[in-house]
Structures are given as C-alpha cells and as structure tokens.
Structure 1
Amino acid sequence: MNYKVEKKIVCKETGEELKVGDEVSIRYTSGGGNGCCRITKITDTGFHYSAGGTRRDKSVQLKDIVEIWKREQNDEGAEK
C-alpha cells in the first residue's frame, strides 16, 4: 500500500485516514510488525508512535511499512 502525509496519513488505495491519537497495528516490509501503537506525531516521511508503556516514542518511515491497520473500538473501548 502507498501512503501520503498531510497532517494526517491517508492510504492512497482505500482513502482511510490516520491521525495523531489513533491506535494502529503496523506490518513492516521486513516481515515484522507492531500491534496496538498510538500515533503521537506525524512527520513528512512517517510518524512517531508509543507502544504501550515505553518511555520514549519510536519512529517509523512510511517506506518501511507494508500496511497499517486502524484499530476499531466500540463505545466501551473494547476492540470490535
């Protein structure tokens, strides 16, 4: 999937928009990935995220990502 950045991340194929505060899961081109990450900052080339209780934000570039899934939650905060 290809993505572009405009104060939010927009998937060019599906039109899905991701913004700061969204919880996402990430799959990398290397085959690995992260689940339940909260986007903390969007940059020109990617974004910073917080993975659970880590002290520092981590960063990732869009060129290193195969796909990003937005976690859907119901009104009580549980995953759908």
Structure 2
Amino acid sequence: MNYKVEKKIICEETGKEFCVGDTVSIRYSNGGGNGCCEITKITGTGFHFNNGGKRDKNVQLKDITELQ
C-alpha cells in the first residue's frame, strides 16, 4: 500500500485546515496583508506562498493575525 503524508495548518479557534495548494488571504499583525496566495510548502514555523511572482515568499505563523 502507498501512503501520503501531508502537513496541515489548523486554526485552533475555528478548526479550519489549510494544506499545500490552498489559496489563502494573509493578514499580518502590523496591519498589512496579501490576498490570493497559494501555499507551496508548510514548515514547522510557518509556510511558503506564491502570489503570482517568480519566487516564493515565506511567513512565520507568529507574524499572522488572520488566515482565510
């Protein structure tokens, strides 16, 4: 049998799950944000995302206020 392991980001307040390939909007604690970002990789402290550019950007979960 074949198995696949996936990392997920789970919101502790709502229980909503985000996986690689999901399109999300990010709101930062400083008031800024990014919309329509695709999660490309999930790490232990945050995730990498792409919003249409050539390179992926990364963000740490401690810097995020809201993820939709």
Whether these two folds match at TM > 0.5 is yes
Q: Tell me the residue number matched to 2:67.
A: 68
Please, which runs of 5 or more residues in structure 1 have no aligned partner? 1-5, 70-80
Tell me which amino acid in the other structure corresponds to 2:42: I
Q: Which segments of 5 or more consecutive residues in structure 2 lack a partner in the other structure? A: 1-5
**Is 1:29 aligned with 2:29?**
yes
Q: Residue 49 of structure 1: CA displacement?
A: 0.1
Percent identical residues? 70
**Is 1:9 the equivalent of 2:9?**
yes
- Partner Cα separation in structure 1 for residue 31 and residue 15 of structure 2: 24
Cα distance in 1 between the residues matched to 2:64 and 2:17? 16
TM-score (norm 2): 0.90
Aligned match of 2:3: none
TM-score scaled by length of structure 1:
0.77
Instruction: Let me know the Cα RMSD of the aligned residues.
Output: 1.0
Which 4+ stretches in 1 moved above 3 angstroms?
Answer: none
Where do 1:38-49 residues align within 5 Å?
38-49=38-49
Report how many residues are paired.
63
